[in-house]
Amino acid sequence: MKNGRLKLILLLILALQGASLYAQDYSGQIKTVTLDAGHGGHDPGAIGAKSKEKDIVLDVVLRTGALIKQHYPDVKVIYTRDKDVFVKLYDRANIANINKTDLFISVHCNAAKHKAVYGAETFVMGLEKTESNLEVAKKENASILLEANYTENYNGFDPNNDEDYIAMTMFQSASFDQSLKLADKVQKQLIGPECKRYDRGVRQGPFLVLHKVAMPSILVELGFISNVAEENYLRSEAGKKACANALFNAFKEYKTEKEASLSSAVQTAEIEKVEPPIFYVQIAASANKMNIKSFKNVDSIEEKYVNGNYVYLTGKSTTLTQAKNKLPTIKNKGYKDAFVVAFIGNRRISAREAEALQ
């Protein structure tokens, strides 16, 4: 079991490193989006009777990108692949990070042993642990087994080992709230009047590709190509067009709302005196309550409950600058993935929004 423990520590380091290298402040404007067509090349993804996941998702992604370019010529659209080639999960995330992307959308199709299963679902990287969520994540993460040197690139992570997911799900990304917002919009579109998919909901799961990116990100499962009717729909011209429209409409809604929220926050502050925001440094998050005493080297820990998870905060400050100044020290104490958050009462708001309210 010693080996197991060593591995867990290595994975914990991996989790702590996460995407924090690329952490950035968001102006609130959506200027760049990365569209990630799952699988490709020698990795077909899920296989249906007449089609492969890699072909359907590439088609849908290219259509979505074309719609974004057509309606928002100022938005830069980046594809992790625009043809039938294999791209490592690691590289997919890197492409998004290096380009300082504002949003990351990974598109997939699902398959199940039971051919009767169908419907669309949208995932965010999250702490919720249900068996079926883990199953979907395992299937998608298994792509790394087709990569050369995957043991080195992922610190020995084994996508089939439940224990390897423990460290990964201990830390919540700074973009969790925004990712959820985008996921809600995508899911609403997929089950809407044009796409008409059965609603399997917005869910959370330990997806490697989402774990590695530093911006709001989602993984969409358009439907099951193991189901005859759904496969026929997804491979049809009408189906692919409807799915692309759904993704585009969700992008449009998210972008519009996000860009309006900053100016409206300032207006609200001007019209009425709102409670001033309080700033903290978030050091951990968990679906289950954690023991405050287990956080070493930091004091005055506060626990808050946000979006179904317990978050652990330190470095309480009245200004953003104050909190930002405390961040390097806290990171040096072993909380490398820590980031600044702001609260009004028990409501978490973005640091930018809070700054505007000061």
Contacts with Zn ion by CB under 5 A lie at 38, 45, 108, 140
Residue number, 142 or 166, with CB nearest to Zn ion = 142
Closest contact distance (angstroms) between CB of 61 and Zn ion is 12
What minimum distance in Å lies between the beta carbon of 135 and Zn ion?
13
Residue 36 or 355: which CB sits closer to Zn ion? Answer: 36
Instruction: Give 48 or 315: the residue with its C-beta nearer to Zn ion.
Output: 48
- CA atoms within 13 Å, Cβ hemisphere of 198: 11
Tell me how far, at minimum, the Cβ of 221 lies from Zn ion, in Å: 8
| Shortest distance (Å) from residue 106 CB to Zn ion | 8
Residue nearest to Zn ion (CB): 108
Residue 199 CB, shortest distance to Zn ion, in Å, is 20
Instruction: Give the C-alpha separation, 130 to 226, whole Å.
Output: 22
- Say if residues 182 and 254 touch (Cβ distance below 8 Å): yes
Least separation in angstroms between CB 83 and Zn ion: 17
Whether residue 337 contacts residue 16, with contact meaning beta carbons closer than 8 Å, is answered with yes
CA dihedral 256, 260, 310, 169 (to 10 degrees): 30
| CA-atom Rg of the chain in angstroms | 20
Q: CA–CA separation, 213 vs 103, rounded Å?
A: 9
What one-character-per-residue DSSP string does 78-119 give?
Answer: EES-SSS----HHHHHHHHHHTT-SEEEEEEEE--SSTT---
The beta-strand segments (E) located in 167-277 are 199-205, 217-224
Q: What's 36's DSSP letter? A: E
Whichever of 18 and 38 has its CB closer to Zn ion, that residue is 38
Closest approach, Cβ 219 to Zn ion, in A, equals 8
Residue number with CB closer to Zn ion (38 or 48)? 38
Would you say 55 or 184 has its CB closer to Zn ion? 55
Side chain identity, residue 131: E
Closer CB to Zn ion, 122 or 309, in the complex: 122
For residues 349 and 178, the answer to whether their CB atoms sit within 8 Å is no
